[in-house]
Each structure stands twice: as C-alpha cells, then as structure tokens.
Copies of this chain bind each other. A is one copy, B any other.
C-alpha cells in the first residue's frame, strides 16, 4: 500500500515544483481554513487516540491532546508559513560563459520529502505547510498513538488543497505506522528525495543508520555552557537559569555546565542558589545538580556518573563539571557535544575567539542562552527540525533548507 502512495507522490512532483508562489500561498490559506472548519472532526478523532493512550505518561498525553485552541494555533502556523518569502526560483549564481552560454544556478524543491515523527499530531500540519510552501510533496508517517488525530488533520488539509485547485496528493499520510512502513521510506530511493526524522534519539538513530535515501540527522542536543574564569557571574547565572529551566524538554536546553577551576569555589554556591534554593523559595521545581567529584567540594548535589555527561536529560537536571581552563572545556565539548548548541560565558575576547573557532556545533554562543537556536529567533521562520549534521543544512531547517538547486544552461548550439 505504501508503494501506491509513494507512486502518487512522485507523480505530482513536477506539478508541485511548477506551482506559482500565488498558487502555493492560496493552497496554504485554504489548508488553514479547512483545518479550522474540521475542528470538531479532529477533536473527535483525537478523543479516540486519547482513549487508547492509557500507556502514556502525563507529559506524552499532553503532547497528544488537542483542543480548539491548539487547532487554531496550527492553522495560524500555516498562515504564517504562507506569509514567508518564496524560497523557490532564487538565482544563486549566474554567469555568462565565454562561448555565450548562460549558466544559472537556481533553487528548486527536493521533490518527495518523507517525515517520520512520533506522538505530536501538530507535526503533520507544520510539516505539510513547510513542504507545500517550498514546492515539495510530503509523505507523513506519524506514530500509532496519534494516528486517528493525524488522519483527521490530513483529511482536512487535503480538502483544503483540493478546494484551492492543487493536487491533494501533495500531502499524504502513511496509514500503517509500522516498522515496515518506516523501513520502506528509509530505502525507497526511487521515490524519496529527502527523509527527515522528527522525534527521540532512537528514531533518529534508526533513520541515520538504516536510510539509503538522503537523510538529515536532527535534534539531539547535549548543549554545554562553559563559565570561563573571566565570566561576569550575573550574566552566567541568568543564562544558565534560562537555558536550563525556561523549557527543559526542548533540544536547545542546556544539559551540562562546565566551570573554570579558577572561579569554581565562588561560582558553584551561587549556581546552586540560583537553580535550587531560589527556585524552591519561589515554589518552582528545583534543578537537580549532578556534580563531578571536584565540584562536590564546593557545593551540595548528587555525585555525577560518567553517563551524566552524555545524557540529554530533557528535564530539571544539570550535570556540572570543573575544568582547568577554556582549552580543557573545548576538549570536553569535542568529546561529548552532539554538535547542536554550545556557549561560553566570558569577558575575555581571546577566549571567545578560541571557543568560536574550535567548537564544531551548529550554533556557537558567546554570552547568550543556547535557547535561541530556533528558526524564528534566527529570522528564518518556522522550522522542520534542527540539523545536527554538517551535510546540506546545519541548525534550524526552514523552507530554505527544503530546497536544493539545479544548473540551467541555455545555449545556441555550443559544444566543448
């Protein structure tokens, strides 16, 4: 069954690529409109998913649950994508060959973009919007927990596409969210031009290891904040507090704090006060500190195990380690970073330069919170994921990163 869906997707690739900007934007607004029109159907479908969700944790149930407000937010997200400037047809390079040929390098869509995701049903609407905007055709393969919700959402989106006069098959949902269907998407080289996994570590690893189609590694963020010997303590504390506690479940949250040995005796008690005592006093959940043997001498907390420096906690937990200096911090980061976002807090220009040059991550920060790694904050609009690989795209991937290019050469009979 999945092959008939892939064939239908491939069949409308050229039509999708040739849609004018106006036609794509009209389709997006129609998708948003029909999503809202079908609010009741989507909520009923979501109720079925929720009924079956007895095995899920509270957090996961919250990710799965929809309400009228969340559906309107999805629609608003689609409208925002419609308002972005067109990523297609940009001339990246243009030259006239000495023989008179005109050579242009022009942005074009990938073709069929497959996205494998987990429980959040809103991913289906977000992804559909970004792919339609960029002239691609998308195949959505969600998790089984959100199947009914995703079916209802995609039905509404397809109705919107049809009403706007473009092929409904621009957006398709895989209805058997099995390992097999995921496996087909990872290896269908004839049909899938780009595969993007959106979800946990296990899903991403499976895709990266098994995909023979071009695949983007997204997401996992073990983000470091290094507090240099020259750091301004107020900046350091505000940034760590923000990066750890403003939204611990996201990939740009900090997981590890490295502290220069020169300032550790003075800084660590302040860190504990900011993340534990002050939060307790304010009735907020305190951060659990997992401390390296050296830092245990300066403040209280749990002794860290080796694995704590290789764990994406996604929770109110921070691993803390004392390092000798910036070079020692760089060595630690090079061994443990997932190449997402890493920061240095320093007042020494030289150390900032060294950190920027040496850290091999998508986003390298000086005196700012890692939480800014996000398409919206970087000025590129909504994102389909955050790439932690170096091939094609790095960091937030928006509609621009959903395009490739081709060379168009126009001649009058030139030969070489």
Which A residues lie at the B interface, using CB under 8 A?
13-14, 17-18, 95, 97, 101, 103, 110-111, 193-194, 208-209, 212, 214, 216, 232, 234-235, 238-239, 241-243, 246, 330, 334, 352, 356-358, 360-369, 371-373, 377-379, 389-392, 394-395, 404-416
Contact = CB atoms under 8 A, between A and B. Distances in A.
Q: What 4 A-B pairs are tightest by C-beta distance, nearest first? A: A368-B411, A242-B415, A235-B413, A214-B391
A350 to B, nearest CB: 13
How many copies of this chain sit in the oligomeric assembly? 2
B242 A416 contact: yes
Contacts of A379: 95, 97, 103
A48 to B, nearest CB: 36
A409 B360 contact: no
Contacts of A101: 368, 372
Nearest to A193: B390
Contact of A409 (B13, B241, B330, B364): B364
B413 A214 contact: no
Given A363-B408, A369-B414, 6 more contacts: A194-B391, A235-B413, A241-B415, A366-B411, A368-B414, A394-B407
A413 B363 contact: no
Contacts of A110: 390
A86 to B, nearest CB: 15
Contact of A209 (B212, B232, B246, B408): B212
Residue among A234, A334, A414 facing the most chain B CB atoms (10 A cut-off): A414
Nearest to A205: B212
A352 B412 CA distance: 12
A415 B371 contact: yes
A242 B101 CA distance: 16
21 contacts: A14-B330, A18-B358, A97-B379, A193-B390, A209-B212, A234-B413, A239-B413, A243-B415, A352-B410, A356-B408, A364-B406, A366-B410, A367-B410, A367-B414, A368-B410, A368-B412, A368-B414, A369-B414, A369-B415, A372-B416, A394-B406
A413 B209 CA distance: 39
B362 A391 contact: no
A406 B362 contact: yes
Contact of A404 (B356, B378, B391, B407): B391
A415 B363 contact: no
Contacts of A366: 408-411
A410 B347 CA distance: 12
Nearest to A247: B416
Nearest to A356: B408
Nearest to A215: B391
Contacts of A377: 97, 416
Contacts of A413: 232, 234-235, 238-239, 367-368
Nearest to A368: B411
Contact of A364 (B209, B246, B408): B408
A369 B412 contact: no
A394 B107 CA distance: 11
Contacts of A357: 14, 17-18
